Amino acid sequence: MGIDTVLWSKLVTGMTLGFHAIFATLGVGIPLMISLAEFIGIRKKDLHYILMAKRWSRGFVISVAVGVVTGTAISLQLSLVWPNFMKLAGNVIALPLFMEVFAFFFEAIFLGIYLYTWERFKNPMMHWLLTIPVVIGAGMSAVFITTVNGFMNQPGGFTFEGGQFTAVDPVQAMLSTATFSKVFHVLSSAYLTGAALLAGVAAFAILRKGVSAYHKKALKLMMAVVLLFSLVNTLAGDVSAKFLAEHQPEKLAAAEWHFETEGGADLIFLGWLNAEHEIIGALHLPKFLSFLAFGDFNAEVTGLNEFPIDEQPSLVVHYFFDLMATIGFLFLGISFLYFLFVFWKKRNELNKWILRMIALGAPLAFLGVELGWFYAELGRQPWIIRGYMRVEEAATTSPSVRILFFFFLLLYIVLGTVSVLVLRRIFNNNPAEVEMETWTQRASDKSTLKGEHT
Amino acid sequence: MNYELIGISVLWLFLYGYIIIASIDFGAGFFAFYARLTKQDHVINKLISRYLSPVWEITNVFFVFFYIGIIGFFPETSYYYGSAMLVPGSLAVILLAIRGSFYAFENYGSKNNMVYLFLYGATGVLIPASLSVALTLSEGGFILKQGETASLDYWALLSSPLSWSIVGLAIVSVLFISAAFLAFYASRAEDHAALKLMRTYALFWSTPTIVIALTAFIFLGQHNERHFQNMMDLWWLLALSVAFFMIAMWLLYRGGRYGMAFICIMLQFFSAFFAYGIGQYPYILDPYITIQSSVTSSSMGFALVVAFIGGMCLLVPSLILVFRLFLFDADYVKGNK
């Protein structure tokens, strides 16, 4: 056993999770957008929205495929790379893992039906109904998996005896104090990211090829969702911070570089640390940390120095946290601005600068999700199960993990590249406007054909 | 009945289910590639992609379900198998990843890309080969335990005739099951050219299946006397398996009732697979893990069983819907929809 093996284990898992997070987020977020678009299309009898649902679901399949295979990879890596973790925690977290598989199975079945039955129902609402199990299944997968992460942060629902978890209550373990805020934040950010991506794509298309009815409608619909979920997501972030302040203060303190316990604590934005751990060049928002943590400008916030050195998370999470929060607020700003323009000065919402910001928002949203997850994971360390098992105790002892890191790296490079190529092929060779035209053409051919028969 | 028995029975049943549907899928990959090499791809590849497109994800979930189930009911397995399977398991994951994602990519990419077909065919053979290592490990003698660390004895594994015969059996059964199913699917689609080809493949792979199964059984006797004896005590299950094989052969040879032939093959594997599993009882990993020693707490066992029943109530109707829409909808099978 060596530090080396532990480091490579962390790297291989971090890489897999980082890659999977992109597709998992899409997997949760996009189905809701597809469902919305198809519903509006059927209600308004507007083929543009139906086409949106069709095109998005086509792209979605690619992300689901990569999400499935990387999800399989991460679930197996739990045992392969962290055998001691699973030996200890398997007793407690098996239930949510098990239910996650069911939820995903459910989603996969209905997604399969949805994709292959566009023309098979007489009543289009029947086809729309298929999106509901997909949306619910995707959301529940996220809920179940997030409860496992909640357990790692706030282990509960057992007694610890002789190095083992006994008297396990799996349901209570799922409903740890961390669960609510985490699930809330994961879901809201996934819906926000899904909408931000699709809005970004529409904005990008308008910038490159000029305004078209299809992209304009897509942009407006998605920006409405972005506005809604950036509000919800801000609330979720706030709930998460308040949870951390109460139950996992070292994680919040590390993110805020808050070393001494004090009342009326300042919120520190960016900056850096010198050799004596003094903060330089940061923006101080007076008493805002206390407000963020407890909703009271004078509340006392626990500092990092209350914890033994070897139980403190890495201080780099400060940057992750700050950037994540900044991105969250940016979305609030952009979507607000967009609708301000929509309502105040007609047509100006397609202003070049707004479109550019929205297009840039798509990658930023993913960056935000990644930063959030890296904060969540690194902020918990050195623990893998907070208070019970440290990361280095959990890792495999096999040195092969180093070489496997490179195999997986290669795999993700290939998967990432090919999915980008395939997505380009799907959409670039077949622009929405062209598809709309051939589609309506075909539909009218069909109806004239029918007319001749009768 | 105890949770360990409920757990292992359900899991074994699921593993059996996975082996059948995954074999169909893996073998189809090999046949698609082979047909291309022998310039017969126009005959069967449309049929293959028509069947596989809607179901590939479901196959994958079966696998994850088994894996999560076994670490759920028997958490200790993840420690031993996890430590020992790091390399073969990771390879299987990478291959599964390539295969799974390329399904989706292929839907929109060029269907006749040689690289794609090669990957499709090669992973179809290599995944069962690498996964079958877990079965070999369960026989004992391949995992070294020093203090708290468990590791795989690669030399013992690679030099063991048992492990190679199990790999061989995995590959050959995949091809046999798959060919028989695709023959049935072709007959439903009334695609006579494809049917003729698949029937030939099925007949071709039948004899190697039974020969290698027998070889593996003999090597098992040399490697793990206890397991071998237990299986001999279940001779009637083995005899049943051979009987179903004979019926299936006769049906395939005569032609006509391909659905019945495939069911017989499923029963053939069912009886052999359960003879193997019951013979291994009570071990999950000889000699370290028995189902009694590794079973999870009763509260978790109960929760898992409840979750399982609840999940089945959701899934079975949805699966029936899938089958009615795609597998047994004659118009869809024939390609009219």
Cβ-Cβ contacts under 8 Å for B106 (sequence gap 6 or more): B49, B116, B120
Tell me the average pLDDT across A339-356: 78
pLDDT of residue B54: 59
Q: Do B75 and A91 touch (CB under 8 A)?
A: yes
Q: Do A98 and B68 touch (CB under 8 A)?
A: yes
Using a CB-CB distance cutoff of 8 angstroms, which residues of chain B are in contact with residue A100? 68
- pLDDT > 70? residue B333: no
More confident residue, A250 or B111: A250
Q: Which of A24-33, A173-182, A281-290 has the lowest mean pLDDT?
A: A281-290
- pLDDT > 70? residue A451: no
Tell me the average pLDDT across B203-221: 90
Determine the Cα–Cα distance for residues A218 and A233; give it in Å rounded to an integer.
21
pLDDT of residue A143: 93
Name which of A59, A422, A117 is nearest B111 in CA terms: A422
Contact between B12 and B69 (Cβ < 8 Å): no
A267-293 burial, b at 16+ Cβ within 10 Å, e below that, comes to bbbebeeeeeeebeebeeeebbbbbbb
Within an 8 Å CB–CB cutoff, is residue B87 touching chain A? Answer: yes
If you compute the radius of gyration of chain A from its CA atoms, what whole number of angstroms results?
Answer: 24
Tell me the average pLDDT across A18-30: 93
Tell me the average pLDDT across B206-226: 90
SS3 letters across chain B: CCHHHHHHHHHHHHHHHHHHHHHHHHHHHHHHHHHHHCCCHHHHHHHHHHHHHHHHHHHHHHHHHHHHHHHHHCHHHHHHHHHHCHHHHHHHHHHHHHHHHHHHHHHHCCCCCHHHHHHHHHHHHHHHHHHHHHHHHHCCCCEEEECCEEEECHHHHHCCHHHHHHHHHHHHHHHHHHHHHHHHHHHHCCCHHHHHHHHHHHHHHHHHHHHHHHHHHHHHHHHCHHHHHHHHHCHHHHHHHHHHHHHHHHHHHHCCCHHHHHHHHHHHHHHHHHHHHHHHCCEEECCCEEHHHHCCCHHHHHHHHHHHHHHHHHHHHHHHHHHHHHHCCHHHHHCCC
Residue A403 confidence class, pLDDT cut points 50, 70, 90:
confident
Q: Is the bond preceding A31 in cis, omega lying within 30 degrees of 0?
A: no
pLDDT of residue B133: 87
Determine the Cα–Cα distance for residues B194 and B46; give it in Å rounded to an integer.
10
Contacts 24+ apart (CB under 8 A), B325-329: B325/A113, B325/A116, B325/A117, B325/A120, B326/A116, B326/B54, B326/B55, B327/B51
Picking from B72, B151, B303, the nearest residue to A398 by CB comes out as: B151
Tell me the average pLDDT across A323-347: 85
Picking from B151, B296, B314, the nearest residue to A106 by CB comes out as: B314
Q: For the purposes of burial, counting CB atoms within 10 Å of the CB of A344, is it exposed (0-12), middle (13-18) or buried (19 or more)?
A: exposed
B30 to chain A, closest Cα gap in Å:
20
Residue B53 confidence class, pLDDT cut points 50, 70, 90:
low
Determine the Cα–Cα distance for residues B80 and B87; give it in Å rounded to an integer.
13
More confident residue, A227 or B193: A227
pLDDT of residue B178: 92
Within an 8 Å CB–CB cutoff, is residue A110 touching chain B? Answer: yes
ipTM of the complex: 0.81
pTM here is: 0.86
SS3 letters across chain A: CCHHHHHHHHHHHHHHHHHHHHHHHHHHHHHHHHHHHHHHHHHHCCHHHHHHHHHHHHHHHHHHHHHHHHHHHHHHHHHHHCHHHHHHHHHHHHHHHHHHHHHHHHHHHHHHHHHHCCCCCCCHHHHHHCHHHHHHHHHHHHHHHHHHHHHHHCCCCCEEECCEEECCCHHHHHCCCCHHHHHHHHHHHHHHHHHHHHHHHHHHHHHHHCCCHHHHHHHHHHHHHHHHHHHHHHHHHHHHHHHHHHHCHHHHHHHHCCCCCEECCCEEECCEECCCCCEECCEEECCHHHHHHHCCCCCEECCHHHCCHHHCCCCCHHHHHHHHHHHHHHHHHHHHHHHHHHHHCCCHHHCHHHHHHHHHHHHHHHHHHHHHHHHHHHCCCCEEECCCEEHHHHCCCCCCHHHHHHHHHHHHHHHHHHHHHHHHHHHHCCCHHHHHHHHHHHHHHHHHHHHHHC
Residue B172 confidence class, pLDDT cut points 50, 70, 90:
very high
Q: Is the bond preceding A382 in cis, omega lying within 30 degrees of 0?
A: yes
A 158-177 residues inside an 8 A Cβ radius of B? 166-171
Q: What are phi and psi of A272, to 5 degrees?
A: -145, 170
Cβ-Cβ contacts under 8 Å for B251 (sequence gap 6 or more): B257, B258, B260, B261, B264
Residue A30 confidence class, pLDDT cut points 50, 70, 90:
very high
Within an 8 Å CB–CB cutoff, is residue A140 touching chain B? Answer: no
Q: What average pLDDT does the structure give for chain A?
A: 86
pLDDT of residue A454: 40
pLDDT of residue A453: 46
**pLDDT tens sequence across B118-149:** 888 888 889 999 888 888 888 888 888 877 77
Determine the Cα–Cα distance for residues A233 and B231; give it in Å rounded to an integer.
59
**pLDDT tens sequence across A367-390:** 999 999 999 999 888 899 888 888
pLDDT of residue A1: 46
More confident residue, B263 or A176: B263
Name which of B229, B293, B238, B307 is nearest B268 in CA terms: B238
Q: Do A397 and B86 touch (CB under 8 A)?
A: no
- pLDDT > 50? residue A328: yes
For helices B86-108 and B41-73, angle between their N-to-C axes, nearest 10 degrees = 140
B32 to chain A, closest Cα gap in Å:
21
Q: Do A91 and B78 touch (CB under 8 A)?
A: no
Task: Answer left, alpha or beta for residue A180, where phi above 0 means left and psi between -120 and 50 means alpha.
Answer: alpha
More confident residue, A342 or B328: A342
Using a CB-CB distance cutoff of 8 angstroms, which residues of chain A are in contact with residue B67? 75-76, 79
Within an 8 Å CB–CB cutoff, is residue B122 touching chain A? Answer: no
Q: What average pLDDT does the structure give for chain B?
A: 84
Task: Answer left, alpha or beta for residue A430, where phi above 0 means left and psi between -120 and 50 means alpha.
Answer: beta
Using a CB-CB distance cutoff of 8 angstroms, which residues of chain B are in contact with residue A115? 54
Determine the Cα–Cα distance for residues A219 and A170; give it in Å rounded to an integer.
43
Contact between A416 and A62 (Cβ < 8 Å): no
Residue type at position A43: R
pLDDT of residue A437: 79
- pLDDT > 90? residue A29: yes
pLDDT of residue B87: 86
Q: For the purposes of burial, counting CB atoms within 10 Å of the CB of B226, is it exposed (0-12), middle (13-18) or buried (19 or more)?
A: middle
Name which of A120, A122, A125 is nearest A38 in CA terms: A125
A90 to chain B, closest Cα gap in Å:
5
pLDDT of residue A452: 46
Q: For the purposes of burial, counting CB atoms within 10 Å of the CB of B38, is it exposed (0-12), middle (13-18) or buried (19 or more)?
A: exposed
**pLDDT tens sequence across A104-152:** 888 888 888 888 888 778 888 888 998 999 999 999 999 999 999 999 9
Give the count of beta carbons closer than 10 Å to the beta carbon of residue B309: 9
Within an 8 Å CB–CB cutoff, is residue B330 touching chain A? Answer: no
Residue A244 confidence class, pLDDT cut points 50, 70, 90:
confident
Picking from B97, B109, B325, the nearest residue to A425 by CB comes out as: B109
Using a CB-CB distance cutoff of 8 angstroms, which residues of chain A are in contact with residue B310? 102
Residue A443 confidence class, pLDDT cut points 50, 70, 90:
low
